[in-house]
């Protein structure tokens, strides 16, 4: 018996099972014991500030502001603030042209990063509720009105909306749409329990007094959500408050770099809020945070262990041979993705696209893990086409 091979496989399958099966299953079972969370009928007379941070986003910011100005606004009023982080492509001039429609511009002469922009825009704002959205995100007409009633409950500190990827996307984008759907389902279950272990920077709202100063080198939306939970307040999900991502990651290279950055900075955000991982203080939430945001980031490590373990044990085990063959088939399918591009909406194309997206994402996650443990954390980045925030 190949002890090393079986040990590696057991570790890998246990790790994968924890966040792929145990976390969603236990979360769902817990929701069965929790009453459905009803949105308060009372609409608070709170004012809101919608904050957008952008760098070199001239192509995106015009449609974004047109979309924002057409939204139904909260009873307490809405102010719109755009922070331009050292843009040199005409973004500032375009935003300034909306001044007569109530849009405020603040900007820096140099590239300071998204965290600086968020903190600067929040300091200038006057709203009771701070609403954050990216320049590439287009909100449904009633999105803001759907978020605001939650804040009539003093226990609620924050709430995020639902990301929607266009249905007419290609196979690579369709894989992202499928991931977003699964993520929304988990968010809906977690919301019934009162606290999400994730957030969505495309659209979320936080009470002014609970919004923390965002440090460098963290995923800002996750950090803000964790700060709300740390304060003992609820952070919820409203699937009806939809936000469409008009320009998803259409390039594997962009997605690779995006995953790398998100993994390293999200782990840093959790490290700075590591008290939330103490189950003696935060109970089941600590377990969910550990599995959904930490163990899930270790997926590429578990996949490598599974590959090595099944290869070692395949010389003497039919089960190991099947596992190894299954992994080989998935890799071949992902590698063949380019062959199916001409059949963008075919079943084979979508399956190959999902496999390709899976491996691109895991390679990015592995890269991000290395960055985190080496302390190589990006404090700011230059957005690529399809991204909006610095």
Greater model confidence, 99 or 342 = 99
Q: Are residues 52 and 150 located together in one domain of the fold?
A: yes
Average pLDDT over residues 31-47: 87
Residue 51 has pLDDT above 70, yes or no: yes
Confidence of residue 36 (pLDDT cuts 50, 70, 90): confident
Here the CATH number for the domain that contains residue 149 is 3.90.550.10
Structure confidence by residue, pLDDT tens digits, 186-232 = 999 999 999 999 999 999 999 999 999 999 999 999 999 999 999 99
Q: SS3 sequence, the chain?
A: CCHHHHHHHHHHHHHHHHHHHHHHHHHHHHHHCCCCCCCCCCCCCCCEEEEEEECCCHHHHHHHHHHHHCCCCCCCCEEEEEEEECCCCCHHHHHHCCHHHCEEEEEECCCCCHHHHHHHHHHHCCCCEEEEECCCEEECCCHHHHHHHHHHCCCEEEEEEEEECCCCCCHHHHHHHHHHHHHHHHHHHHHHHCECCCCCCCEEEEEHHHCCCCCCCCCHHHHHHHHHHHCCCEEEEEEEEEEEECCCCCCHHHHHHHHHHHHHHHHHHHHHCHHHHCHHHHCHHHHHHHHHHHHHHHHHHHHHHHHHHHHHHCCCCHHHHHHHHHHHHHHHHHHCHHHHCCCCCCHHHHHHHHHHHHHHHHHHHHHHHHHHHHCCCCCCCCCCECECCC
The pTM for the full model equals 0.92
Q: What are phi and psi of 340, to 5 degrees?
A: -100, 5
Note the pLDDT of residue 341.
Answer: 58
Q: Are residues 309 and 223 located together in one domain of the fold?
A: no
Q: How far apart are CA 144 and CA 342, in angstroms?
A: 40
Q: How far apart are CA 241 and CA 138, in angstroms?
A: 11
Average pLDDT over residues 276-295: 96
Q: Are residues 127 and 15 located together in one domain of the fold?
A: no
Confidence of residue 389 (pLDDT cuts 50, 70, 90): very low
Greater model confidence, 347 or 138 = 138
Note the pLDDT of residue 362.
Answer: 95
Structure confidence by residue, pLDDT tens digits, 117-148 = 999 999 999 999 999 999 999 999 999 999 99
Q: Are residues 114 and 158 located together in one domain of the fold?
A: yes
Residue 388 has pLDDT above 70, yes or no: no
Residue 247 has pLDDT above 90, yes or no: no
Task: Among 250, 284, 313, give the residue marking a domain's end.
Answer: 250
Note the pLDDT of residue 335.
Answer: 86
Task: Among 250, 278, 306, give the residue marking a domain's end.
Answer: 250
Cα diameter, the chain: 76
Answer for the pair 336, 162: CB distance below 8 angstroms, yes or no.
no
Provide the residue range defining the domain that includes 59.
48-250
Q: Are residues 160 and 52 located together in one domain of the fold?
A: yes
Structure confidence by residue, pLDDT tens digits, 2-19 = 899 999 999 999 999 999
Which residues are CB-neighbours of 135 under 8 A, at least 6 positions away? 52, 54, 57, 60, 61, 64, 388, 389
Note the pLDDT of residue 348.
Answer: 72
- Inside any domain, residue 289: no
- Inside any domain, residue 125: yes
Task: Among 250, 285, 305, give the residue marking a domain's end.
Answer: 250
Q: Are residues 94 and 64 located together in one domain of the fold?
A: yes
Residue 69 has pLDDT above 80, yes or no: yes
Q: How many CB atoms lie within 10 A of CB 145?
A: 16
Note the pLDDT of residue 205.
Answer: 98
Residue 62: closest CA among 52, 76, 75? 52
Confidence of residue 384 (pLDDT cuts 50, 70, 90): low
Residue 236 has pLDDT above 60, yes or no: yes
Note the pLDDT of residue 253.
Answer: 85
- Inside any domain, residue 210: yes
Q: Are residues 127 and 234 located together in one domain of the fold?
A: yes
Structure confidence by residue, pLDDT tens digits, 249-280 = 567 888 899 999 999 999 999 999 999 999 99
Q: Are residues 73 and 219 located together in one domain of the fold?
A: yes
Average pLDDT over residues 105-114: 92
Which residues are CB-neighbours of 26 under 8 A, at least 6 positions away? 287
**How many domains are there within the chain?**
2
């Amino acid at each position: 018996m190949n002890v090393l091979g079986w040990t590696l496989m057991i570790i890998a399958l246990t790790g994968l099972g924890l966040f792929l099966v145990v976390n969603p299953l236990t979360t769902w079972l817990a929701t069965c014991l929790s009453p459905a969370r009803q949105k308060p009928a009372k609409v608070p007379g709170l004012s809101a500030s919608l904050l957008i941070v952008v760098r070199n986003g001239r192509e995106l910011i015009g449609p974004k502001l047109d979309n924002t100005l057409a939204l139904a606004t909260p009873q307490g009023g809405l102010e719109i603030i755009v922070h331009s982080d050292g843009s040199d492509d005409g973004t500032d001039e375009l935003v300034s042209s909306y001044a007569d429609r109530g849009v405020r511009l603040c900007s820096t002469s140099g590239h300071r990063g998204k965290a600086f922009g968020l903190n600067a825009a929040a300091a200038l704002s006057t709203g009771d509720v701070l609403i954050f959205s990216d320049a590439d995100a287009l909100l449904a007409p009633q999105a803001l009105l759907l978020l605001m009633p939650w804040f009539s409950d003093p226990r609620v500190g924050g709430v995020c909306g639902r990301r929607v990827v266009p249905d007419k996307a290609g196979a690579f984008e369709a894989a992202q749409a499928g991931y977003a759907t699964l993520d929304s389902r988990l968010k809906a279950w977690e919301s019934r329990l009162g606290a999400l272990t994730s957030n969505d920077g495309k659209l979320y709202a936080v009470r002014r007094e609970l919004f923390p100063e965002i440090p460098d080198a963290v995923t800002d939306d996750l950090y803000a959500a964790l700060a709300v939970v740390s304060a003992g307040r609820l952070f919820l999900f409203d699937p009806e408050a939809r936000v469409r991502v008009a320009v998803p990651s259409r390039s594997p290279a962009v997605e690779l770099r995006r995953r790398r950055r998100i993994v390293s900075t999200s782990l840093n955000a959790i490290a700075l809020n590591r008290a939330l991982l103490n189950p003696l203080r935060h109970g089941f939430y600590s377990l969910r945070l550990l599995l959904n945001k930490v163990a899930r980031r270790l997926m590429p490590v578990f996949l490598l262990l599974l590959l090595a373990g099944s290869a070692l044990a395949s010389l003497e085990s039919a089960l190991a041979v099947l596992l190894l063959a299954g992994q080989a088939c998935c890799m071949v399918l992902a590698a063949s993705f380019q062959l199916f591009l001409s059949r963008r909406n075919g079943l084979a194309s979508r399956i190959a696209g999902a496999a390709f997206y899976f491996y691109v994402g895991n390679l990015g996650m592995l890269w991000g893990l290395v960055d985190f443990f080496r302390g190589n954390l990006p404090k700011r980045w230059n957005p690529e086409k399809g991204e909006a925030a610095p």
